[in-house]
Amino acid sequence: MKFLPTSDADRASMLAAIGVSSVDDLFASIPASVRIAPDLPPPMSEIEIRRLFGGMSSRNAHARDSAFFLGAGVYNHYVSAIADQMLYRAEWLTSYTPYQPEVSQGTLQSIFEFQTHMCLLTGMDVANASLYEGASALVEALLMADRLVRNRRKAVLSLGIHPEYRETVTTYFQNLGLDVVEVPLGSDGRTDGAALSAAVDETTFAVAVQSPNFRGVIEDWKVGTEAAHAKGAMAVAVIAEAASLALLAPPGEAGADIACGEAQSLGVPMHNGGPLLGFLACRTAHQRQIPGRLVGQTSDAEGRRAFCLTLSTREQHIRREKATSNICTNQGLMALASNIHMSLLGRKGLREVALQSHAKAEYLKAAIAKVPGYRLPDSAPTFNEFVVEGPGPAAPLLSRLARGGILGGVALSRWSPKDERAFVIAVTEMNTRAEMDRLAAALAGSEGAAGPDESDRRLS
Amino acid sequence: MSVETDPSTVSTEGKASGRGDRLHPEPRHEPLVFERSGPGKIGYSLPPLDVPEALAIPPALVRGEIEGETEISEVEVARHFTRLSRLNFSIDEALYPLGSCTMKHNPRTNEEMARLPGFAASHPLAPEEVSQGTLELAWRLEQMLIELTGLSRVTLQPAAGAQGELAGILMVRAALAKEGNPRKTVLIPDSAHGTNPASAHFAGYKVKELKSNARGTLDLHVLEEAMTEDVAALMLTVPNTLGIFEDRILEIARIVHAKGGYLYCDGANFNSFVGVAKPGAMGIDVMHMNLHKTFSTPHGGGGPGSGPVAVVPRLVPFLPRPTIERRADGGFFLDFDRPESIGRLRTFLGNYGMFVRALSYIAAYGNRIGEVARGAVLNANYIRAGLTGVYHLKYDAPSMHEVVFSDKKQAEKGVHNGDIGKRLMDYGFHPPTISFPLIVHGALMIEPTETEGKPGLDAFIAAMRAIAREVEEDPRIVLDAPHTTPVKRVDEVGAARNLILRWSPGGRPDTPDPVR
């Protein structure tokens, strides 16, 4: 077995040193009745593994062989080759949580840089070392708000927040004595500001709004922050498409207390939905309640700058059931990828990605609006994602498009059966005008059947 | 210090190493990426916009420049992150005996498989008919984990072990609630990981801590007394964090079940019996596994993890939504129609990229996967044999995959476990887990894993013995360690007192950039 470096002779001399006659003797404390070998196939060679996995990989449509317009929380943005290749370095890949700063300065400094990037993008003061992904980041943000605003039990959430984020909040809240009130969107696709304010009262500890919201519509953060602050609640800004942060007014400028969400768009491949990159940022005043890992700057015994994990007294390995959160790991490698990506694109590139995504989405919106039978139900401005309503059920339409090499959007019926005809389309800098013309033409075809096309990149 | 004991003069593994034999000296200080930035530099290229420019957003909702963001070339980024990487210790360099973390070799086949475009560039919301490969892979992984645990179904959704713990306890709660009473308390031994009580708390339970007995295992009398009909579950780490297998596991399960409770297994230490014994046969009802421990998905400097949870039949209805199912025709689909599900713990299917790696790893071992556990247990016991008498062993019950010594002997000379860990760095090793589990004062928790050979283990034992000698002869060299690392001992207290959690625009490097 190629991952096991012990020779037979070494094993024999190790057993002798231990003073037992066989490895089996070392398992004597496990009752014999439960020592049952698994019924698994024989070991596979690397060649066979490549064959098996290559086969499974080829049975999926993906962003490199399709005209790709899927979003709804995971986005197909540009990632530089170096951002992935750097992850192969053993010093990044095969190290662990930097508990020992003297031999972990690389990871620690990279996290410190990641924290800085997230602060610059969100306009917040402090960001943590990353969280699992967007939905659990929202949970952690709400639980943090609950700690900061004591003795209240209601969180008010806009229905523009990703439905899987809201479902996750419900899962976590079910036994904590915390309630969720959801506020609908207005007819233009934005959160109904009056309804939001009306839902917030003296029992509310947090108000959360997502922008761009799940329909791609840009919200004014102030709708959430003003409703929250009027009643002494924490304003939580949720971001699922972090590429937008380079173009849209950041939550920090609008007075948000906590910004959280998903940073996958900033340098992390889609990975079929995971690993992603949750983040959470807040105000300096609240930094000691921030959940998850944090890296701080300090100095070593010779006075040189150094970094280490800090404020670990909030964490469960010390506080146990009184900890701020039960989370233990962060998304270290994804935060590194994102740090590399944000550093490469920087001030100009992050903005250009956002501008291109937006301009292309506007082009596709205009093209689809002209297709008979299709309409854009939301009149409010969008960033790079928008909802389309077609003449018939969206799911079968999108399946037909997919068979023709176009991943044309995500049907809303998955989360909302009444929106049977609606789907959400995402556009990024990766999409070409030709692909967008093809999607519009396919929709214009006989109920969206994708016709043969010279540029068709069909599934093999 | 003398030439003989100066670590910077010797460089073989297992003797103190200064890494001084390298072509270039180790980088000791690397500026922040923001400090390398300069106007006009660029690190990316994008195609020209092929549609008309458009900005259909009200000006009030558009931001200005991202003040402070970088302008830097690709070559500088390559150097920056390469230099930073060299400040890290990694498994590929030498033994990384961080107890409870299972720092084993990460096979690179798995990395290659995870990057196949049908996995890495696929989207979780693509139509089912063009996602059959991704669904099949997740389904296959579930089947493997079912076989290895001897349990009934597995959810792959939890993003890490701690989230798996929460999922498991939420399922227990839902099952009990359906019977009419969710109960109030979860029992947790004092040797448990800190995430256990935190997870139980977030599932709405009170935690009652059970004191371990003199052998370091669960005291059955203590359990029997605490196990009332108010107790939802016992959360037991198997083997426990002392590396000791609860040899009375069958009786423990009987006691818990007799009162209608559930036996939760923290499977963080599954590496010690995977392929050798089945948790399902032990009476365990629910168990999370850490793909980044037992199944070798890389730790990545702190994540991503992945924490699947296996359950007995009576917990199946409560699994997180969706489950992955196979139709009679062989096709795969996601089942959202699960009315008793606890709901969702995160978006989509979980840390899918880790599923690819873990399945690739399991496939490589196949029916020989028990060799993982056998190797891990052999190695830990070899280290134990090599250090017994030199370091104090509080609990002498048989060790499985890890052994917990303490600094009791060395503390008499004023040297503590943290100092010993720091001194190990000079010998070319990562320190063990320090000060955990809490029931061993001054703990040194050593887990070598199965992917270390005898030469590496011998070198580690020699280093630990040498440090013990230094404590006797010249404790100062240990107390001042490390001597050879990129930075000297880091002021962690100062970091918490004077919080600096980010760089700010206009900030200056507060230490000069030496040489380069």
Q: Is beta strand A295-299 parallel, antiparallel or unpaired with respect to A305-309?
A: antiparallel
**Given this model, what pLDDT does residue A319 score?**
78
Interface check A320 vs B, CB under 8 A: yes
What is the number of alpha carbons within 13 Å of residue A350 lying toward its C-beta? 36
B486-497 pLDDT, tens digit per residue, is 999 999 999 999
SS3 A12: helix
SS3 B269: coil
The shares of helix, strand and coil residues in chain A, as percent rounded to the nearest 5, are 45, 15, 40
Q: Is the ipTM of this complex over 0.85?
A: yes
Q: What's the start-to-end Cα distance of chain B, in Å?
A: 29
Give the residue on A whose Cα is nearest the Cα of B58.
Answer: A381
Which residue is it, tokens 């009909």?
B229
**Given this model, what pLDDT does residue B25 score?**
59
Measured between beta carbons, the chain B residues lying within 8 angstroms of A19 are 385
**Given this model, what pLDDT does residue B7 score?**
44
Sign of the C-alpha dihedral computed for residues B129, B130, B131 and B136 taken in this order: positive
Q: B359: distance to nearest CA of chain A, Å?
A: 9
Q: A371: distance to nearest CA of chain B, Å?
A: 19
> At B365, which helix (H) or strand (E)?
helix B352-365
Residues B55-62, mean pLDDT to the nearest whole number: 97
Interface of A with B in 180-209 (CB under 8 A): none
* Alpha-carbon distances, residue A404 vs A389, A433, B118, B313 (angstroms): 20, 18, 17, 41
Give the residue on A whose Cα is nearest the Cα of B344.
Answer: A168
**Given this model, what pLDDT does residue B507 score?**
62
Instruction: Give dist(CA B468, CA A403) in Å, integer.
Output: 67
**Given this model, what pLDDT does residue B512 score?**
39
* Alpha-carbon distances, residue B222 vs A371, B255, B334, B396 (angstroms): 73, 11, 44, 21
pLDDT tens digits, chain A, 460 residues: what are they? 899 999 999 999 999 999 999 999 999 999 999 999 999 999 999 999 999 999 999 999 999 999 999 999 999 999 999 999 999 999 999 999 999 999 999 999 999 999 999 999 999 999 999 999 999 999 999 999 999 999 999 999 999 999 999 999 999 999 999 999 999 999 999 999 999 999 999 999 999 999 999 999 999 999 999 999 999 999 999 999 999 999 999 999 999 999 999 999 999 999 999 999 999 999 999 999 999 999 999 999 999 999 999 998 777 777 778 888 888 778 999 999 999 999 999 999 999 999 999 999 999 999 999 999 999 999 999 999 999 999 999 999 999 999 999 999 999 999 999 999 999 999 999 999 999 999 999 999 844 444 444 444 444 3
Give the residue on A whose Cα is nearest the Cα of B89.
Answer: A103
**Given this model, what pLDDT does residue A27 score?**
98
**Given this model, what pLDDT does residue B285 score?**
98
The verdict on a CB contact (< 8 Å) between B43 and A84 is no
Instruction: Give dist(CA A430, CA A101) in Å, integer.
Output: 39
**Confidence band for B10, pLDDT divided at 50, 70 and 90:** very low
Q: A14, A89, A95: best mutation site toward chain B, by most B Cβ within 10 Å?
A: A95
Q: Do A196 and A146 meet the contact criterion of CB atoms below 8 Å apart?
A: no
Q: Do B308 and B293 meet the contact criterion of CB atoms below 8 Å apart?
A: no
The verdict on a CB contact (< 8 Å) between B199 and A326 is yes
What is the number of alpha carbons within 13 Å of residue A154 lying toward its C-beta? 14
SS3 B129: helix
Helical pair B352-365 and A46-58, crossing angle rounded to 10 deg: 140
The verdict on a CB contact (< 8 Å) between A56 and B492 is no
Q: Do A376 and A363 meet the contact criterion of CB atoms below 8 Å apart?
A: no
**Given this model, what pLDDT does residue B20 score?**
43
Interface check A16 vs B, CB under 8 A: no
Interface check B515 vs A, CB under 8 A: no
| Tokens of residue B416, six digits | 């503590």
Instruction: Give dist(CA B335, CA A66) in Å, integer.
Output: 26
The verdict on a CB contact (< 8 Å) between B367 and A299 is no
Q: A129: distance to nearest CA of chain B, Å?
A: 10
The verdict on a CB contact (< 8 Å) between A53 and B116 is yes
- DSSP code of B414? T
The verdict on a CB contact (< 8 Å) between B63 and A293 is no
Instruction: Give dist(CA B443, CA A279) in Å, integer.
Output: 33
Measured between beta carbons, the chain A residues lying within 8 angstroms of B74 are 80, 82, 344
**Given this model, what pLDDT does residue B434 score?**
95
**Given this model, what pLDDT does residue B16 score?**
55
Interface check B476 vs A, CB under 8 A: no
Instruction: Give dist(CA A231, CA A198) in Å, integer.
Output: 11
Interface check B116 vs A, CB under 8 A: yes
**Given this model, what pLDDT does residue B5 score?**
41
Nearest to A114 by CA among A100, A131, A97, A135: A131
**Given this model, what pLDDT does residue A460 score?**
38
DSSP for A315-326 reads SHHHHGGGSS-S
Nearest CB neighbour to B117, from listed A57, A121, A340: A57
Instruction: Give dist(CA B263, CA B282) in Å, integer.
Output: 10
Interface of B with A in 362-391 (CB under 8 A): 362-371, 374-375, 377-379, 381-382, 384-386
Measured between beta carbons, the chain B residues lying within 8 angstroms of A28 are 398
Adjacency order of strands within the sheet including A385-389: A385-389, A422-426, A410-411
B120-172 pLDDT, tens digit per residue, is 999 999 999 999 999 999 999 999 999 999 999 999 999 999 999 999 999 99
The verdict on a CB contact (< 8 Å) between A250 and B422 is no
**Given this model, what pLDDT does residue B513 score?**
35
Interface check A399 vs B, CB under 8 A: yes
The verdict on a CB contact (< 8 Å) between A336 and B300 is yes
Instruction: Give dist(CA B262, CA B264) in Å, integer.
Output: 6
Identify whether A43 is preceded by a cis peptide bond (ω within 30 of 0). Answer: no
| Tokens of residue B500, six digits | 């600096």
Count of CB atoms situated within 10 Å of the CB of A50: 17
The verdict on a CB contact (< 8 Å) between A113 and B34 is yes
Nearest CB neighbour to B304, from listed A89, A321, A333: A333
B18-46 pLDDT, tens digit per residue, is 444 445 556 678 999 999 999 999 999 99
